[in-house]
């Protein structure tokens, strides 16, 4: 059979490897989760900024079209309606 000292040495080696590898794996997983969280936050920030820019553009386009309808009405250009500063 296997000698008791070999079993003890094998158990001690297993415990040593587990105590070294365990924290390294935990550190690696923690870093990966932090990177994923940062990417997710940046992506969400980009989406919100893009949505705000699209809304601003739509508002400007709407205002431009309203002004265009006031200036050009029925095929006639009416410059006298434009308030000059």
pLDDT digits 0-9 by tens, 9-41: 999 999 999 999 999 999 999 999 999 999 999
Helix-strand-coil split of the chain, %, nearest 5: 85, 5, 10
Report d(CA 24, CA 52) in Å as an integer: 42
Q: What is residue 14's predicted lDDT score, i.e. its pLDDT? A: 92
Q: What value does the mean pLDDT of the chain take?
A: 85
Q: Indicate the pTM of the whole model.
A: 0.53
Three-state DSSP at 6 gives helix
Q: Does residue 83 surpass a pLDDT of 60?
A: no
Burial class (CB in 10 A: 0-12, 13-18, 19+), 82: exposed
């Amino acid at each position: 059979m296997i000698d008791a000292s070999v079993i003890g040495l094998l158990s001690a080696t297993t415990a040593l490897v587990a105590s070294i590898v365990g924290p390294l794996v935990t550190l690696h997983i923690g870093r990966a989760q932090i990177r994923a969280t940062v990417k997710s936050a940046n992506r969400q920030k980009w989406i919100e900024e893009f949505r705000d820019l699209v809304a601003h553009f739509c508002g400007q386009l709407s205002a431009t079209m309203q002004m265009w309808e006031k200036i050009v009405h029925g095929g006639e250009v009416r410059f006298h309606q434009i308030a000059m500063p």
